[in-house]
Amino acid sequence: MLRKQKESIINELAEDLGKCAIAIATDYRGLTAKDMVSLRKQMHLQGVDYKVVKNTLAHLAAEKAGVKGLDPLLVGPLAIALGYDDVVKPAKILADAMKIPGSALKIKGGVMGDKVLSAAEISSLASIPSKEILISMLLGNLKSPITSLHFVLSSPLRGLACVLQARAKQLEGG
């Protein structure tokens, strides 16, 4: 590879590492080309980049972007999943890909902000519901006390209305 190509790759990866919310390092050894294309396509549809990178270039790009903690993960074949808006999406996609029978994909670890994540932490991150589901759960929990308060405050009025209706019927029929 020419020096200009290497510099271009380093600059592009440094820019991506600087923008991303999470970077997950994986070992892709044993994946077929078909599986790799399928995984990349699935990630691309979710807004996640998945790049196969040489360790030296990844080290230089991380250094340039100011990302610390990536160096211990730069051993053996390396592919990096970069999530920009949601930290759960890349972890979920990789976890689902690992569940496929015969999949050789392995998560080495990752970096989220300044925190270095182990493979186990990324797997637990994959079990978190998506951002949209969490927001809807929050809104449901915020709405619940208000609904309960409305029911409690309107209950005596409903009771009074029922008593008045019953009395009105009694007077009409009696």
Distance CA 153, CA 7 (A): 68
pLDDT of residue 174: 57
Assess whether pLDDT exceeds 70 at residue 171: yes
* Helices H / strands E in the chain, number of each: 6, 5
Q: What is the value of pTM for the model shown?
A: 0.74
Over residues 89-101, the pLDDT tens digits come to 899 999 988 888 8
Task: Give the confidence band of 150 by pLDDT, cuts at 50, 70, 90.
Answer: confident
Residue 162, number of CB atoms within 10 A of its CB: 10
Q: pLDDT tens for residues 34-78?
A: 888 989 999 999 889 999 999 899 989 988 888 888 888 888 888
The single-letter code of the amino acid at 174 is G
